[in-house]
Structure formats: C-alpha cells, structure tokens
Amino acid sequence: MEIWLNPACSKCRGAVDLLDAEGASYTVRRYLEDVPTEDEIRAVLGRLGLEPWDITRTQEAEAKELGVKEWARDEAARGRWIAALAAHPKLIQRPIITADDGTAVVGRTEEAVREAMGRGSEGN
C-alpha cells in the first residue's frame, strides 16, 4: 500500500496511526513535496473509481482563486481538473491510500482505512 498524505493533516495522521496500530505495510508519499504527475492522478482516479472533481478540495484558497467550483464537471473538462490537481497539489483530497489489489480509497474515516487494509496482500 501507498498513502498520499500531508503530515500537517489530522486525517492523514489518524490514518497512519491506524495503519501502524494494525501493523500494515505501506509507503508514504508526501504529495505536496513529491507531486503526482497528471498520469499518476489519472491512474489513482481509475483506482478510486472517481472523477477529478470528486477529490478536489474546493474550499482551499487556491481552489477559490482558480474558481474551480464554477468549472464544468464533464468529460470535456476532465483534463482541466487533472492539470489543476497536478499544478496545485494542495487541492488533492487526502489521504489517498492505494491498496495492493489495485484499488484505492480516500482514507478520511477509520472505515475507509480499514477497507484499504482489507484489500492488502493477504490474497484478497
């Protein structure tokens, strides 16, 4: 598993605490420093089964400056959203946990983190 996190985020710290408490094997990606490419964002969206606007933090100051709330949410606008997430990684919802089975979850709740752990390398 890999967890995309911002160490200043309480939800991210909670997810890491739970992973550690359960003895989960994972790697950390500090996505504000190691910014995902547009291709990596597309791949994670595919694993999540979500669209870029579903993982965009629209309340962030950068989102307000860009006016993302007003952007179209359709296939034609998808590239614009992905480009914005790559250019402004603060806008990416966190934490994102990529599970060993090829899926991913937005780990904002204990249940979501446990779901990712359940998709781990135990053969699930």
Spot the catalytic one: 2, 5, 9, 84: 9
Query: Which two tokens mark 111?
Result: 């249940």
**Residue 119 pLDDT grade (very low, low, confident, very high; cuts 50, 70, 90):** confident
Residue-wise pLDDT for 28-84, tens only, equals 999 999 999 999 999 999 999 999 999 999 999 999 999 999 999 999 999 999 999
**Phi, psi torsion values for 2, nearest 5 degrees:** -130, 140
More confident position, 123 or 76: 76
Residues 38 and 86 sit within 8 Å (Cβ to Cβ) = yes
9 is catalytic: yes
